[in-house]
Amino acid sequence: MSYASWAIRFVASLDGIITVLSGMSNIQQMEDNISYMKDFKPLNEEEQRIIQEAQRIIGHSATIPCTACHYCVDGCPKQIRIPDIFSAMNKEIGNGQAEEAKTAYFNAAAEGHRASDCIECRQCERACPQHLSITNNLKTAAKMFEN
């Protein structure tokens, strides 16, 4: 099952929920949503246990909880690819993949669009639905990868 199916079924299984909205970017995502909502089945006890364990693990993670929605990029005057930079950081922070992280960073951060090019306007933070401290994380990225 897709990550989206788990997320939507989790929310739809909660008491008092009558509507679940899902952002979709293409026909395949729409078809995925339709496939498990057409004949909706709430999460069973085993699935709920799996989600609780995932929540516990994620709650202890030092990674950046960016969902890669890209809302932050649209308003960035420097067009910094923030989600891609955070993904690179998470390779090192979460998995210890230092070389892979550095490669991913430099693939994401072209000259003039690097973490250190951030002008701290905080437009990205106002747009972020996760309320991440993007500016501080970009400073950390610059220290991680550009020094």
The total number of structural domains that make up the chain: 2
The rounded Cα 1 to chain-centroid distance in angstroms is 19
Tens digit of each residue's pLDDT (9 = 90 or more) over 42-96: 999 999 999 888 888 776 678 899 999 999 999 899 999 999 999 999 999 988 8
- Alpha carbon separation from 61 to 11, 47, 99 (Å, rounded): 23, 21, 20
CA 47/CA 42 separation, integer angstroms: 9
Same domain, 139 and 81: yes
pLDDT at 44: 92
> Domain boundary at 59, 83, 100, which?
59
Same domain, 55 and 76: no
> Domain boundary at 12, 39, 59, which?
59
Same domain, 43 and 100: no
- The string of DSSP codes covering 37-48 is HTT-----HHHH
| Residue 65 domain-assigned (yes or no) | no
